Amino acid sequence: MNFASVIVDVPAKQTDKPFDYEIPAAWKNLIKPGMRVVVPFGPRKVQGFVIDIKEEADYPKTRKIVEVLDLTPSLTPELLEVGHWLTETTLCFKITAFGAMLPAAMKAKYEKEILLVKEEFRDSLSQDVQPYFINSNSFAWSEAEKAGILPNLQKEIEKGLLEVYYKVSQKGNRKTTRYIKAALNQKQLLEAAEEMPAQARKQKELLEFFSETEDAAFTSQELQAAAAASDSTIRSLVKKGFLQEEWVESYRDPYADRRFEQTEPLSLTEEQEGAIKPILQKVEDGQHHVFLMYGVTGSGKTEVYLQSIEAVLQKGKEAIVLVPEIALTPQMVERFKGRFGSLVAVLHSGLSTGEKYDEWRKIQRKEVKLVVGARSAIFAPFENLGMIIIDEEHETSYKQEENPRYHARDAAIFRARKHNCPVVLGSATPTLESFARAKKGNYELLSLQGRVNSRPMPEVSIVDMREELRKGNRTMFSTELLEQLRNRVEKGQQSVLFLNKRGYSSFVMCRDCGYAIQCPHCDISLTYHRSGQQLKCHYCGHEEPMPSVCPECSSEHIRFFGTGTQKVEEELAKVLPEARVIRMDVDTTGRKGAHEKLLSAFGTGEADILLGTQMIAKGLDFPKVTLVGVLAADTMLHLPDFRASEKTFQLLTQVSGRAGRHLLSGEVIIQTYTPEHYSIQLTKQHNYLAFYEQEMQLRKQYAYPPFYYLALVTVSHPDLLGAVSASEKIVSFLQAQLQVSTQILGPAASPIPRINNRYRYQCMIKYKRENNLAAALKAVNERFQQEMQQNGLGISIDLNPYQLM
DNA sequence: AGCACGCCGACT
DNA sequence: GTCGGCGTGCTC
């Protein structure tokens, strides 16, 4: 086993293959697949992943591995497999897939340095560069560039006095703590203490201290406190060999200063029992299976998760729980930490790079048994997985919108298959894809339709904003909402106001009849383009002029839509000056911890109204909230996205669930210009099943998922013409490669037609069964390879896209 | 991605 | 004659 196949950290088509390296004799039995190494690559050094160890190299002129970065492989054999699967299913580079499975801190940082070849060359350096090497024998390339002395250095390099060195370092550092312990036994220590010269009073005392303790290790701070020992005393005793130092890895614990109240398993309702039984059975049997737990808000899904995990841990196995952007729900972390204490690692975007790395290390070192985290936590390096849970399965944040464009649900199922363990998908509003699979029997449906505390679902009323306008109310608050808000303030109860900011973009709607202009071929809203006063469809490229009157009712009040939280806050202050308002949006939650602060302020009753966007829709649970208002339910409904109705229904249901979760019953007011729309009407009725049926019909009619699969090819180019012609060529190429039954739409301008001065066109592929697809798309990449290198053509491929932009 | 090699125009 | 433009191709 003399050679290693390495995937190098150079994300490019030409380097997306293993390179063989010789393993230096000293590391022969040390290097294993999954380890990160540093290898020479051309003139520089790069990081790479060992994917294979072999007796012979496939290449005659191998070079040697220069550094080993891991003692234990950072990618387990199974995760290496997951990596290969990722490249195949998302068409990304191998290195991109591997990189995505590790915390950012482990990504290499590359630095160029200029090194003095030999100490004695220092005096031979020319006058202009010598000053830079007076105190050191290296000098950062970037500094040299700034100082403008590169040409001078070049000359010295040619003379052989200096050399260019490529340094590979890590972003995050392991945090270690120094512990001091005795190097001898207690008797020997006592003897040593007696032989200490009289002037070494402190050393003598410290030795005596150690001779009285058994086999304990202390940090220097502890010694300072316990024995008044200074660091210099410790050091000289270490030097004399009486004491020894020990470096132990320590963790930055983001939750160190927080106490989690220990909780006990609650007794389950009959429904919960019914749901947990089949899960426990699969855990017991060690069998792969996918469950879809469809449970209304407040039905106690989390308790089912907790008790299932309990069973997994009892079998000595590990579990992964995915939650959407967990930073937003400290309440969720609390529930897991409360039940499983220090067995839990938490991975989410609110942690620093170092903190994330530490949590990851805890998993790798098997110090935790459970990880709760956002999307990428699906790659937690557990080796004995017993269950994977995906909470709020419908959340779109489970799909990564950059390479590798994977969906955590797919990765979960792939891993669970390998580990023979169950996957539990939970949601009050499952995606149509998952629910359809459950109906077909691919997944097992578990249903929780009652709320744990038997509270009725909140009363939802829909306010027709067209009516308000007719009555002369031009503010963004309907009479009813305003009245109810005032009522809550008076009663000392709290309200949540939800503004859907997404879709601020520009769909066009009639303020009188609520008619939104749609594409005749795609059943999605057209987008308004100021340039040329045109309406465009981003799917098929259809175009039409912006009408001056509503095509439906001939009203002149037709215009495009959008508003922001700040404006709402101002208006609220005008109409309801007595209310104390907390506003939560990107502006007010920018700083780390600001989020939690605002939420806890609201929780302790420092405000009457919580006003916010998306981020307040999830997982909040405040007993005193009895009113939820949705200011404009339509904004999302008319996004150019075939999932718009689904997302609207999910969001409205989600938001409604924030009201009346405890003793006080709740009420929801939804303001809309399209009250008759089924996704709004069915929210009022709390009827997911009806929504599912209706939406499925439309999906079938327009050939969208789950009836068809989608693939999105986005072409970008510095010139408009280049983008157009390349995308046209791609479309015709694909038409030749793929089956007749596969639909290829476009090319059409991307919803964001120009980013960074690059024009973007896209085409969408709809297919049912297409074995050729991956091969055809790979072929596209290959065929346009030269153009991609030469004229700055870019091709991005998203299989099963979520965001169609 | 970097970087070197290599082949054509404007300069000491 | 050379410096330097960036097209081309390679990196185990």
A152 touches strand B (CB under 7 A): no
Q: pLDDT averaged over chain A?
A: 86
Q: If you write DSSP's letter for every residue of A455-496 in order, what string do you get? A: PPPPEEEEEEHHHHHHTT--SSS-HHHHHHHHHHHHHT-EEE
pLDDT at A514: 79
pLDDT tens, position by position, A573-584: 888 898 898 888
pLDDT tens, position by position, A416-452: 999 999 999 999 999 999 999 999 999 999 999 988 8
Instruction: Please tell me the distance from the alpha carbon of residue A131 to that of residue A133, in angstroms, as a whole number.
Output: 5
Q: If you write DSSP's letter for every residue of A338-393 in order, what string do you get? A: HHHGGGEEEE-TTS-HHHHHHHHHHHHTT--SEEEESGGGGG---SSEEEEEESST
pLDDT tens, position by position, A391-425: 999 999 999 999 999 999 999 999 999 999 999 99
Q: If you write DSSP's letter for every residue of A633-680 in order, what string do you get? A: TTTTTTSS-TTHHHHHHHHHHHHHTTS--SSS--EEEEEES-TT-HHH
A788 touches strand B (CB under 7 A): no
- Of the ranges A126-135, A436-445, A651-660, A784-793, which is most confident? A436-445
- Nucleotide nearest A43, CA–C1', reads B3
Instruction: Please tell me the distance from the alpha carbon of residue A787 to that of residue A722, in angstroms, as a whole number.
Output: 10
pLDDT at A384: 97
A41 touches strand C (CB under 7 A): yes
- Number of Cβ within a 10 Å radius of residue A415: 24
Tell which CATH classification among 3.30.70.20, 3.30.70.100, 3.40.1440.60, 3.40.50.300 matches the domain A3-77+93-107.
3.40.1440.60
pLDDT tens, position by position, A546-596: 888 888 888 888 876 655 676 788 888 888 898 898 888 656 665 666 777
Q: How confident is the model at residue A682 (pLDDT cuts 50, 70, 90)?
A: very high
pLDDT at A92 over 90: yes
Instruction: Please tell me the distance from the alpha carbon of residue A69 to that of residue A63, in angstroms, as a whole number.
Output: 17
Question: Any idea what the Cα angle at residue A705 is, between residues A703 and A709, rounded to 5°?
Answer: 90
pLDDT at A586: 59
- Nucleotide nearest A21, CA–C1', reads C12
pLDDT at A504: 42
CA of residue A145 to C1' of nucleotide C4, angstroms: 19
A20 touches strand C (CB under 7 A): yes
CA of residue A794 to C1' of nucleotide B1, angstroms: 15
A12 touches strand B (CB under 7 A): yes
* Contact predicate A368/A343, CB 8 Å: yes
Higher pLDDT, A484 or A771: A484
CA distances from residue A224 to A228, A233, A635, A768 in whole angstroms, order as listed: 4, 10, 63, 71
pLDDT tens, position by position, A222-272: 767 666 777 788 778 777 777 777 777 777 766 666 777 788 888 888 999
Instruction: Please tell me the distance from the alpha carbon of residue A394 to that of residue A66, in angstroms, as a whole number.
Output: 46
State the average pLDDT over residues A615-630. Answer: 79
Q: How confident is the model at residue A503 (pLDDT cuts 50, 70, 90)?
A: very low
State the average pLDDT over residues A734-749. Answer: 90
Q: What is the CATH number of domain A709-798?
A: 3.30.70.600
Half-sphere exposure of A195 (CA within 13 A, CB side): 8
Q: How confident is the model at residue A479 (pLDDT cuts 50, 70, 90)?
A: very high
pLDDT tens, position by position, A41-67: 988 899 999 999 999 998 988 999 999
Whole-structure pTM value: 0.84
Spatial neighbors of A427 by CB under 8 A, at least 6 apart, are A292, A293, A294, A295, A391, A392, A393, A394, A434
A338 touches strand B (CB under 7 A): no
CA of residue A151 to C1' of nucleotide B11, angstroms: 20
* Tokens coding A481: 């909402």
CA of residue A733 to C1' of nucleotide B8, angstroms: 36
pLDDT at A734: 92
Q: Sheet of A625-630: strands edge to edge?
A: A459-464, A667-672, A625-630, A494-498, A609-612, A581-584
Q: Find the range with the poorest average confidence among A283-292, A492-501, A591-600.
A: A591-600
- Bond before A747 cis per omega within 30 degrees: yes
Name the residue closest to the C1' of C7 by its CA: A790
Domain A270-453 part of CATH 3.40.30.10: no
pLDDT at A211: 76
DSSP E strands, A213-252: 217-218, 243-249
Q: How confident is the model at residue A345 (pLDDT cuts 50, 70, 90)?
A: very high
Residues 25-84 of A with CB under 7 A from strand B: 42-44
pLDDT at A531: 58
Instruction: Please tell me the distance from the alpha carbon of residue A712 to that of residue A92, in angstroms, as a whole number.
Output: 14
pLDDT at A564: 63
- Domain formed by A459-504+563-696, architecture: 3-Layer(aba) Sandwich (3.40)
